[in-house]
Amino acid sequence: MHEMALAEEVQLIVAATAERHDMTRVTDIGLAIGAWSCVVPEALEAALEVALAEGVAAGARIGLMTVPGRLRCVGCGEEYEPEDRYEPCPACGRPGAELLAGNDMTVMRVAGH
């Protein structure tokens, strides 16, 4: 389960952000998870509960937002949001598009006091 490793990395990012901004308590964390990132949101939430159980972010609210996959056709430049990253361009039918979004996970918000 790679979600635990991701949760531990989020914990490090949150702790560093809290220290950098002199926060004694983190109350809210927002994460953007790409639709094609292979992250299971429920598993990540469970792993975050464990990883954040102690320290400055204990009990923080976790908000997860899914970022849809987005591609750009290398032939015609059309940008599109298919269900599958290997779908051909809807404008020209060419396969092999450039990945623009939906493959990563990002800490978007760390709030507290």
- pLDDT tens by residue, 4-29: 999 999 999 999 999 999 999 999 99
- pLDDT tens by residue, 52-103: 999 999 999 999 999 999 999 999 999 999 999 999 999 999 998 999 999 9
- Any idea what the Cα angle at residue 98 is, between residues 97 and 99, rounded to 5°? 115
Tell me yes or no: is domain 2-112 CATH 3.30.2320.80.
yes
DSSP state of 24: S
Strand order in the sheet with 26-34: 61-67, 26-34, 105-112
Asked if 31 and 108 touch (Cβ cutoff 8 Å), the reply is yes
pTM exceeds 0.95, yes or no: no
